[in-house]
Amino acid sequence: MVKNSLFFKKAEFSEIKSYAKRLNSESESGEIGYYDLPNFGDEIIKEAEDFFKDKIYDNIVLVGIGGSSVGVRAILRALRAKKMRARLRILDNIDGFRFDTITQSIEFDKTIFIISSKSGTTVETISIFKAILDFYKPSDISKNFIFITDNGSKLEKFANQNNAKVFNIPKNVGGRFSILSAIGLVPMVALGLDAKALLQGGAQCKADFFDEKDDTLLQKAYHYATHKYAKINVLFSYCDRLAGLNDWYVQLWAESLGKKLGHTRFGLTPIGLIGSKDQHSFLQLIMDGTRDKTVSFIKILDQNSEKKVPNLSLENLDDLDFANGICMSEIINLQCDATMHALINEGISVDLIEVSELNERNLGYLFYYFELLTSAVGIMFGVNTYDQPGVEIGKRILKSLILKEQI
Amino acid sequence: MVKNSLFFKKAEFSEIKSYAKRLNSESESGEIGYYDLPNFGDEIIKEAEDFFKDKIYDNIVLVGIGGSSVGVRAILRALRAKKMRARLRILDNIDGFRFDTITQSIEFDKTIFIISSKSGTTVETISIFKAILDFYKPSDISKNFIFITDNGSKLEKFANQNNAKVFNIPKNVGGRFSILSAIGLVPMVALGLDAKALLQGGAQCKADFFDEKDDTLLQKAYHYATHKYAKINVLFSYCDRLAGLNDWYVQLWAESLGKKLGHTRFGLTPIGLIGSKDQHSFLQLIMDGTRDKTVSFIKILDQNSEKKVPNLSLENLDDLDFANGICMSEIINLQCDATMHALINEGISVDLIEVSELNERNLGYLFYYFELLTSAVGIMFGVNTYDQPGVEIGKRILKSLILKEQI
């Protein structure tokens, strides 16, 4: 169960209905592929299950950056309480120290490497892949390596020539919108997690929005898109295990909505916080600082732990006995409530996402929910939510700097 | 070596000299204790060395939240390449699942617990401490527990009654400015890290600023404090191991500068990014989005790794051979340069902090540098940089919510 409640004034339906219509047509046009991912993943799951069925491995090393890894890490961290079939390590930065640390801690024969790059030409990913090949010098790439990439990419061609297994991402699904595609599903199957439930959660969110016509998400998007002062959106997640989801949200939001149209610049800045610990750091700025933020809280109702603060009274510290006998997860959720109340009293725009527990289905729901929210704000801004022209220039400069070095 | 270069227009010295004077008097007044920490830590280090000398332990568990742990995690992550005497785990959230995970992975007799709370009455910290006592039921607290807290706090009284070792933080040093006090020094000594070098780095930064009168820091503070549009400050650190330093900076900046004076609200919003991976997520927003950000880059010149991209040309992927033969750390630093160039070309205010390597001395320098920068901006805003009135209300609401639950 995932439930969103808004604590700010809703707009009249007449103000938002044209956006609902445009989101509908965008979804139905088939041009933006992520909308349909919940309906098309079963085949990939079957393919992955067949592939991993007879394999023996202790470790999975995912080599991928940006959209190829940030969602997988969100799943891995959120589902930490689940039993997994192997240990997943992620190489998402071109860092020799980290490369050495990971290669020293795994046995090649018991490791599956997933090389994940949508374009197939991400220089960091391919360079790390080369370093792995150079380090282990495998005679047969098809044994320990699988590839996730676009149909027809150069990386796919390389994989095919080496008879290695390739999983494709649909061409019209952008990297940061791809977590319900092979990008997320294949690592989940490899870990023994319930990838089908992830898709079902996404499908549920889709149905709530498009079939049940629940207008909560659209109201929230409209509030964000039209807010005069609040250009920063805080996601305040009250559970350590949601740190990865925060990071995934930050990249989705930042890269999708930071756009220019002619000379006009758009953009909402995302920030991910973890409660209650960030109450001891960032909260002061939200409470007393410039009024430029909205805050979205996430609360996990069942946190897979019955651990209580014991009924112990310590000499001189009995002032704090008010927490005795209470479940730690209940305290963290009460802290969420307390902070929410304080912000609402200050007139800050707040909403609450309640999640019954951290499982595959709810995660799938949350992924789809934030993707839809992003699309909705993008439509309201009138920008292209799905490209990233601003990061290409840095890539070109990098190449020219490296070539200059070599002269 | 730590060197800061600014890529934006400096102010006339006449504009900033009064602030230099006020920072000087604040530092000399003795009211704000962190300024003098580099001069007073040797005694604590000696005390800690004596205490840990004969102790046998494999694990250290630090229980602390906010200022009591975020700086320690920054040190731990930044110095990952160093050999440490024990494994440090941090309990910084009231999370039963994480409590169970950590207690299951340690042996009580080989563990030192550091209970760290400046006020001595942080409900999360004391509740976790109680859970530890309840779980292990130690007969003698003085054996496995040490305490870091204010002189005269209730936690100190408790520790004294139990004959346990206490390290004090000077009363006039705020939690988020305390990393060069016992808060950071004691865990460093316990880990076998060079705590003296940390202080020396802080002292070097202090001397550069107050004695050498290097105006770079003040120019940067003035640029931030008076910038019309850029109310968001991004710290873009090009090394995975700096993720903890980013988090420390975020809490320092947010909690110190998010303040109100009467009806006027101040505040600069900090964001921590890691390069190059966040080039694949957040960079688009900085490049094309609303012009509301400054960007400070950190580059580590020697990254403790000689790992190169091998001279390997893969079929179909030879477009990416331009990176062959280059050190991974050089690629990451060239990516930093490339992104910097791109942002400077866009007219965004940028500065670069070059760090020779990740060691204790340079970390001490960086901590002191960011603390001074925060103080300088606070003086320019005219706010109280050192309090946090906005977070108290949430604590009161929490207590009343818990008491209501119990009725």
Instruction: Write out pLDDT tens, residues B66-118.
Output: 999 999 999 999 999 999 999 999 999 999 999 999 999 999 999 999 999 99
Residue A260, token pair as written in the block: 């220019």
| Partner residue opposite B269 with nearest CB, options A155, A267, A285 | A285
Residue A257, token pair as written in the block: 């909505």
Asked whether A108 and A136 are in contact (CB, 8 A), the reply is yes
Beta bridge partner(s), residue B169: B150
pLDDT score at A402 = 83
pLDDT score at B67 = 94
pLDDT score at B404 = 79
What phi, psi does B7 have (nearest 5°)?
A: -115, 50
- Which H/E stretch holds residue B300? strand B293-302
The identity of residue A47, as a single letter, is: E
**Total beta-carbon pairs less than 8 A apart between chain A and chain B:** 391
| Partner residue opposite B309 with nearest CB, options A127, A258, A329 | A127
Give the span between the Cα atoms of A281 and A149, in whole angstroms: 40
Asked whether B2 and B365 are in contact (CB, 8 A), the reply is yes
Residue of chain A with shortest Cα separation from B344:
A394
| Beta-carbon-side half-sphere exposure of residue B140 (alpha carbons within 13 Å) | 5
Antiparallel, parallel or unpaired: β A111-116 and A145-150: parallel
In this prediction, residues B143-159 reach a mean pLDDT of: 97
Q: How close B77 gets to chain A, by Cα (Å)?
A: 12
* CB of B331 less than 8 A from some CB of A: yes
Q: How close A286 gets to chain B, by Cα (Å)?
A: 7
| Beta-carbon-side half-sphere exposure of residue B343 (alpha carbons within 13 Å) | 30
* CB of B335 less than 8 A from some CB of A: yes
Q: What is the DSSP string of A318-377?
A: GGGGGGTT-BHHHHHHHHHHHHHHHHHHTT--EEEEEEEESSHHHHHHHHHHHHHHHHHH
Q: Is B66 helix (H, G, I), strand (E, B) or coil?
A: helix
In this prediction, residues A107-126 reach a mean pLDDT of: 96
Is 80 exceeded by the pLDDT of residue B293?
A: yes
Residues of B taking part in catalysis? 255, 280, 395
B284-to-A272, A387, B279, B354, B391 alpha-carbon distances in Å: 18, 9, 8, 24, 33
Is 80 exceeded by the pLDDT of residue A364?
A: yes
Q: Is B265 helix (H, G, I), strand (E, B) or coil?
A: strand
Contacts of A314 in chain B (CB under 8 A): 126, 130, 133, 158
* CB of A230 less than 8 A from some CB of B: no
* CB of A258 less than 8 A from some CB of B: yes
Higher pLDDT, A152 or A390: A152
Which A-chain residues 79-118 have CB contacts (< 8 A) with chain B? 80-81, 92-101
Residue of chain B with shortest Cα separation from A288:
B259
Residue of chain A with shortest Cα separation from B307:
A96
| Partner residue opposite A332 with nearest CB, options B94, B134, B290 | B94
Give the span between the Cα atoms of A44 and A189, in whole angstroms: 10
Give the span between the Cα atoms of A178 and A199, in whole angstroms: 12
Residues of A taking part in catalysis? 255, 280, 395
Residue A135, token pair as written in the block: 């380090």
pLDDT score at B390 = 83
* Region of residue B193 (phi > 0: left; psi between -120 and 50: alpha; otherwise: beta): beta
Residue of chain A with shortest Cα separation from B260:
A288
Is 90 exceeded by the pLDDT of residue B192?
A: yes
Instruction: Write out pLDDT tens, residues A199-227.
Output: 999 999 999 999 988 899 999 999 999 99
Residue of chain A with shortest Cα separation from B156:
A316
In this prediction, residues A85-92 reach a mean pLDDT of: 97
Q: How close B364 gets to chain A, by Cα (Å)?
A: 21
Residue A327, token pair as written in the block: 């479940």
Radius of gyration, alpha carbons of chain B? 23
Asked whether A161 and B316 are in contact (CB, 8 A), the reply is yes
B362-B364-B369 Cα angle (round to 5): 95
In this prediction, residues B378-406 reach a mean pLDDT of: 85
pLDDT score at A385 = 97
* Of residues A159, A149, A160, the one with CA closest to residue A122: A149
With b meaning 16 or more CB within 10 Å and e meaning fewer, what string describes A173-205? bbbbbbbbbbbbbbbbbbbebbbbbbbbbbbbb
| pLDDT classification of A407: cutoffs 50, 70, 90 | low
Residue B32: exposed, middle, or buried by beta-carbon count in 10 A (0-12, 13-18, 19+)?
Answer: middle
| Partner residue opposite B289 with nearest CB, options A126, A265, A335 | A265
Handedness of CA A272, A276, A281, A285 (dihedral sign): positive
**Helix ranges, B315-381 (H):** 328-345, 360-381
Asked whether B44 and B190 are in contact (CB, 8 A), the reply is no
The identity of residue A190, as a single letter, is: A
| Partner residue opposite A401 with nearest CB, options B255, B334, B403 | B334
The DSSP secondary-structure symbol of A225 reads: H
pLDDT score at B406 = 66
| pLDDT classification of B407: cutoffs 50, 70, 90 | low
Q: How close B41 gets to chain A, by Cα (Å)?
A: 25
| Partner residue opposite A289 with nearest CB, options B93, B130, B266 | B266
* CB of A133 less than 8 A from some CB of B: yes
Residue B123: exposed, middle, or buried by beta-carbon count in 10 A (0-12, 13-18, 19+)?
Answer: buried
Give the span between the Cα atoms of A254 and A256, in whole angstroms: 6
Residue B50, token pair as written in the block: 């004596």
* Region of residue A73 (phi > 0: left; psi between -120 and 50: alpha; otherwise: beta): alpha
Mutate to test the interface with A, among B95, B155, B301 (most CBs of A within 10 A): B95
B294-to-B180, B232, B269, B314, B367 alpha-carbon distances in Å: 27, 6, 10, 40, 20
pLDDT score at B402 = 83
Residue of chain B with shortest Cα separation from A162:
B315
Give the span between the Cα atoms of A144 and B150, in whole angstroms: 55
Asked whether B263 and A226 are in contact (CB, 8 A), the reply is no
The predicted model scores a pTM of 0.97
Is 90 exceeded by the pLDDT of residue A45?
A: yes
Which of A357-361, A386-390, B364-368 bottoms out in mean pLDDT, i.e. has the lowest? A386-390
Give the span between the Cα atoms of B303 and B237, in whole angstroms: 13
A310/B131 touch (CB, cutoff 8 Å), yes or no: yes
* CB of A347 less than 8 A from some CB of B: no
pLDDT score at A406 = 66
In this prediction, residues A108-114 reach a mean pLDDT of: 97
Position of tokens 């360079």?
A127
Omega before B68 within 30 of 0, i.e. cis: no
Residue A141, token pair as written in the block: 């790439």
In this prediction, residues B229-237 reach a mean pLDDT of: 97
| pLDDT classification of A326: cutoffs 50, 70, 90 | very high
pLDDT score at B248 = 98
Contacts of A307 in chain B (CB under 8 A): 96-97, 99-100, 131
Antiparallel, parallel or unpaired: β B87-91 and B59-63: parallel
B337-to-B2, B26, B211, B237, B276 alpha-carbon distances in Å: 17, 37, 31, 12, 11
Q: Is B7 helix (H, G, I), strand (E, B) or coil?
A: strand
Beta-carbon contacts of B334 under 8 Å, excluding residues fewer than 6 positions away, are A398, A401, A402, A405
Residue of chain A with shortest Cα separation from B407:
A322
In this prediction, residues A34-57 reach a mean pLDDT of: 95
Residue B239, token pair as written in the block: 């090394």
Instruction: Write out pLDDT tens, residues B200-211.
Output: 999 999 999 999
pLDDT score at B125 = 96
Distance of CA A265 to the CA centre of its chain: 25
- Which H/E stretch holds residue B148? strand B145-150
Give the span between the Cα atoms of A314 and A334, in whole angstroms: 23
Average pLDDT over chain B reads: 95
Radius of gyration, alpha carbons of chain A? 23
Contacts of B328 in chain A (CB under 8 A): 94-96, 99, 127, 131
pLDDT score at A212 = 87
Q: What percent of chain A has pLDDT over 90?
A: 91
* CB of B123 less than 8 A from some CB of A: yes
* CB of A304 less than 8 A from some CB of B: yes
Antiparallel, parallel or unpaired: β B293-302 and B350-357: parallel
* Of residues A188, A187, A211, the one with CA closest to residue A359: A188
What phi, psi does A315 have (nearest 5°)?
A: -55, 135
Q: Is B173 helix (H, G, I), strand (E, B) or coil?
A: coil
Give the span between the Cα atoms of B3 and B238, in whole angstroms: 15
| pLDDT classification of B358: cutoffs 50, 70, 90 | very high
The identity of residue B83, as a single letter, is: K
Position of tokens 């280090």?
B45
* CB of B163 less than 8 A from some CB of A: no
Give the span between the Cα atoms of A286 and A293, in whole angstroms: 7
Beta-carbon contacts of A289 under 8 Å, excluding residues fewer than 6 positions away, are B254, B257, B258, B259, B260, B265, B266, B267, B269
Position of tokens 């046998």?
B56
Give the span between the Cα atoms of A312 and B71, in whole angstroms: 30
Contacts of B322 in chain A (CB under 8 A): 399, 402-403, 406
| pLDDT classification of B401: cutoffs 50, 70, 90 | confident
| Partner residue opposite B287 with nearest CB, options A121, A310, A390 | A390
Which B-chain residues 21-50 have CB contacts (< 8 A) with chain A? none
* CB of B264 less than 8 A from some CB of A: no
* Of residues B5, B2, B3, B7, the one with CA closest to residue B343: B7
pLDDT score at A391 = 78
Beta bridge partner(s), residue B80: none
* Of residues A10, A2, A13, A9, the one with CA closest to residue A344: A9
Instruction: Write out pLDDT tens, residues A263-317.
Output: 999 999 999 999 989 998 899 999 999 999 999 999 999 998 999 999 999 999 9
* Of residues B373, B389, B375, the one with CA closest to residue B233: B373
pLDDT score at A404 = 79
Position of tokens 């499908």?
A203
Handedness of CA B194, B198, B204, B210 (dihedral sign): negative
